[in-house]
Structure 1
Amino acid sequence: MTANDSSPDDETVQRLVAEIEVPAPAIGLAATLADAPDVVVEGDQLVPSWEDQLPYLWVTDGDLAAFEDAVADDPTVAGCERTASFDSGSLYDVEWADADRGLRAWLRRNEIPILEADASGATGEWQLKLRLESRDRFTDLQAYCDAEDIGFDLLRLYPLEAPKVGQYNVSEKQREALLAAHEMGYFEIPRECKLGDVADRLGISTRSASERLRRGQANLLTDTLRIGHSATRGPGETGGRSA
């Protein structure tokens, strides 16, 4: 067999992106989210890395004082320091107390970086976007969650490589927000509704609605208009994909 020949049994190892939803105890901050149910927490990875999972948290909405009181007593957190504050929220430097246990520890041991993470007290769940080196690694993830009795909800699974037409990298929550905004005339000129109206229809805060629309529109642009163009995301952009 020459170098150009291939066996029908050969499979190219393809890296994947998995978007999953797990209960808050699997990642951490379950007690904090329960005590501060109005907050929205986003993991800020800066540069995604499997070695340092969720070192920073961006907290918006709700009562930040209540969040800080709750996180001080959270058994999954050893330390949490506010490093910056803006009108839209505050950034916290987090030291996790249970770094060697739970799903975060398993992801680190298996060198799986968290590309995006967000949670809210309203749902009591974390939504994660993970980069996997192969489908076998995804199978390992499912097996681990089953063995540890971690509720595991797969939202999307798709190749890391440049998308094909029809693969728009939009999460279910982003899709729901975009469709609601479109149906309500939010994108019309002039607008037929306000952002708060869209948020009310979705049952979320105005801030969360804004974030979902912004991310959803960014993903649509990246995975449609940029198809076929070589443009690599910068280190501050999540997903590590080229479009």
Structure 2
Amino acid sequence: MSVLVEFSIDSGDFLLGNVLRGPEEMRFELERIVPTGDAVMPFVWATGGDFAAFEGNVTASEHVRELRALDKVGDRALYRIVWDEPHAGLIEVLGETEATILEARGDGARWRFRLRFPDHDRLSAFYNLCTENDFPVHIDRTYTLSERIEGGHRLGLSAEQREALVLALERGYFDTPSEASLSDLADELGITQQALSDRIRRGNEKVLRSVLLSSASDFD
């Protein structure tokens, strides 16, 4: 079963955070990382602040080959960062251990991450690599999706159905427009699209029956 971890790290203690340190009022969100041969290419949203000064600070880094603004909307801009050469950084460790970034936000002082690993072995590998490379991550919490909602109403759901529904909610599958496809979610859980579709459909039916039918009886 997949496992989730929440951790934080000072911006100056890993390369991406250190490179992005600039105007104090700016905030950053890591959208995704894309492997490119021996390296990874981070895509980062920057919010607020002086974009010209920020771009100058980043491109002045000896580690950055290219910083390209892909989109700008109001006080937000999406950037692609290309490293000058491959290196063993925190972001590379995430790629090596097959971590899915659910959330990654930071500023000039500190970054906070929420990740999903395929299993506990991958999580252990991540922690070991961080220790070996002197990345002082502070683990705030580790849990499975089932554990996360253990104290709530079960609604007659199986563990697999709860996991599928919570994942779909977290990734924005039910949003309009949807922020995640059935294929994306199925890949994360390591099951087929048909299996995931069945879990979501059956899970939704149980939730609706439990909530709507039981609540309707209260007014009889």
TM-score by length of 2: 0.62
Structure 1, unaligned stretches of length 5 or more? 1-13, 168-226
**Counterpart mapping for 1:57-206 below 5 A:** 57-121=44-108, 123=109, 125-160=110-145, 163-166=148-151
On the 8 A contact 2:93/2:130 being kept in 1, the answer is: no
Residue 195 (structure 1) aligns with: none
Q: Deviations over 1:122-153 (max 9, x none)?
A: x1x32222211222222222222222222111
Residue 158 (structure 2) aligns with: none
**Counterpart mapping for 1:33-72 below 5 A:** 33=21, 35-45=22-32, 51=35, 55-72=42-59
| Superposed displacement of residue 54, structure 1 | 5.8
Using the alignment, how far apart are the partners of 1:54 and 1:99 within structure 2?
Answer: 10
| Superposed displacement of residue 59, structure 1 | 0.4
Using the alignment, how far apart are the partners of 1:86 and 1:73 within structure 2?
Answer: 24
Q: Secondary structure at the match of 1:55?
A: strand
Residue 175 (structure 1) aligns with: none
On the 8 A contact 2:98/2:118 being kept in 1, the answer is: no
Using the alignment, how far apart are the partners of 1:99 and 1:119 within structure 2?
Answer: 23
Q: Structure 1 counterpart of 2:28, which letter?
A: V
- What is the percent sequence identity of the aligned residues? 22
Larger gyration radius, structure 1 or structure 2: 2
Residue 5 (structure 1) aligns with: none
Q: Structure 1 counterpart of 2:25, which letter?
A: D
CA RMSD of superposed structures (Å): 3.3
Structure 2, unaligned stretches of length 5 or more? 153-161, 190-199, 204-220
Q: Structure 2 counterpart of 1:26, which letter?
A: F
Paired positions, count: 166
| Superposed displacement of residue 74, structure 1 | 2.0
Indicate which of 3, 6, 14 corresponds to 1:26.
14
Q: Deviations over 1:146-203 (max 9, x none)?
A: 2222211112212145842547xxxxxxxxxxxxxxxxxxxxxxxxxxxxxxxxxxxx
Greater fraction of residues in helix: 2
TM-score by length of 1: 0.56
